[in-house]
Amino acid sequence: MNEEKYYTYILYSLKDEGLYIGYTTNLKNRLTTHTQGEVISTKGRRPFKLIHYEYFVNKKDAKSRERFLKNGFGRSQMKKMLGRTLKLLE
């Protein structure tokens, strides 16, 4: 069995109050790169707060989940699921 770990994660931008959804094999390292401004797509949106992540044992499942959360229906479902968390951060 493959020992690799895969994560889909959601960051909340404290600057623009928007969400960023991503996928990685090393969650701790990826959060560090976002926090330090090393990711071009999020550099100007710092600081971030990790508000949700999911662990997968299969890469395709993790990437599929990321794509789902980025589409309209998935984003809507995610916002319902994290509604209380998002209200606390407003």
Q: How far apart are CA 66 and CA 77, in angstroms?
A: 13
**Nearest CA to 70 among 38, 17, 25, 23?**
23
H/E element, 75 = helix 72-81
What pLDDT, on the 0 to 100 scale, is given for residue 14? 94
What pLDDT, on the 0 to 100 scale, is given for residue 28? 97
HEC string for 32-70: HHHHCCCCCCCHHHCCEEEEEEEEECCHHHHHHHHHHHH
Residue with tokens 């404290």: 14
- Reported pTM: 0.93
Number of domains in the chain: 1
H/E element, 13 = strand 6-13
Q: Would residue 20 count as lying in a domain?
A: yes
Q: Which domain does 46 fall in, by range?
A: 6-89
The 10s digit of each residue's pLDDT in 1-59 is 568 899 999 999 999 999 999 999 999 999 999 999 999 999 999 999 999 999 999 99
Q: Would residue 25 count as lying in a domain?
A: yes
Per-residue pLDDT for 81 more than 60?
Answer: yes
The CATH number that applies at residue 24 is 3.40.1440
What pLDDT, on the 0 to 100 scale, is given for residue 39? 95
Q: Would residue 1 count as lying in a domain?
A: no
Average pLDDT on 59-77 reads: 96
